[in-house]
Amino acid sequence: MTAAHLTLLNLLAVERLEVDLFRGSGQGGETPTRIFGGQVIGQALASAYHTVEKRLCHSLHAYFIRPGDPSIPVIYQVDRARDGGSFTTRRVVAIQNGKQILNMSASFHVDEEGWSHQHQMPVVEGPETLADRSTLREAVLNKIAAPHRDEFLRERPIDIREVAPRDFFKPKPANDVNHLWFRMAAARGITAQLQHCLLAYASDMNLLGSALRPHGQTWFTGDVMAASLDHSMWFHGPTKFSDWHLYTMDSPWSGGGRGFNRGLIYNQNGSLIASVAQEGLLRKARRN
């Protein structure tokens, strides 16, 4: 297990301050300037799980209210909205400097049988032959300003393999449908609850970028101001995030300064284990 893996697992191991009050670190996620949205969702879900017994999350719905400051901790306040016979509901508020940065509702369900069907996993190239995130970034390191190169190449805990990676700096307009494989090998053997938290963390990766693809933009062109506005996720089946998962994404609409994105997450055996939806702010960056 590498230092990056330990950092992420420690981020999701929120500290209990009171019965329904928890604290999570803001440092160590995907970005250095603000807290990565998936990190706040993962910590909020971990906080809720501390108040739920013998039930797994089946859905969560979160609103990003303010950007998170990575230099200070985040406080998570859990409201035990309902403990029912089959479902448990929790509301989690993430707070920094006395202000809310995220509101999340999550529902937990007992394990029970029911009718079953799913859409089939798309047929795409497997992860074994695809370049990882580090390799793609090393290839364009000369285009990154020297003060930012260490952060650009910093080891990340989630192994990502894009099926059809685009040019970072001169992307061409492309179909909004896109696929990537991801996993964290160090997740082997952890609890089902923590598996969910890791998957929630990873579900925020690359999703918002789907709405940029038809417009020939990436985060590196300098023309985009973007932020996640909300994030919903439904868990359908057991997760073993140490194995490869296919994240297939699309963006059926953008307009009015917003982009809507969807994602389906399959395990390598083809079972659909989660669905995701997100809307994000997308504006042209202001230039001085």
Q: Within 13 Å, how many C-alpha atoms sit on residue 271's CB side?
A: 11
Give the C-alpha separation, 241 to 176, whole Å: 25
Q: Which residue has the tokens 């038809």?
A: 214
User: Please, are residues 59 and 234 in contact by the beta-carbon 8 Å criterion?
Assistant: yes
φ, ψ (nearest 5 deg) of residue 8: -65, -45
Which residues are marked as active site?
204, 228, 278
Helix (H, G, I), strand (E, B) or coil at 10: helix
Q: Residue 180: exposed, middle, or buried by beta-carbon count in 10 A (0-12, 13-18, 19+)?
A: buried
Q: How is the beta sheet containing 159-162 ordered, strand by strand? A: 15-18, 21-24, 74-83, 87-96, 99-109, 56-64, 224-235, 272-284, 258-267, 245-255, 178-183, 159-162
Q: Which residue, among 63, 67, 50, has the nearest Cα to 278 in the 3D structure?
A: 63
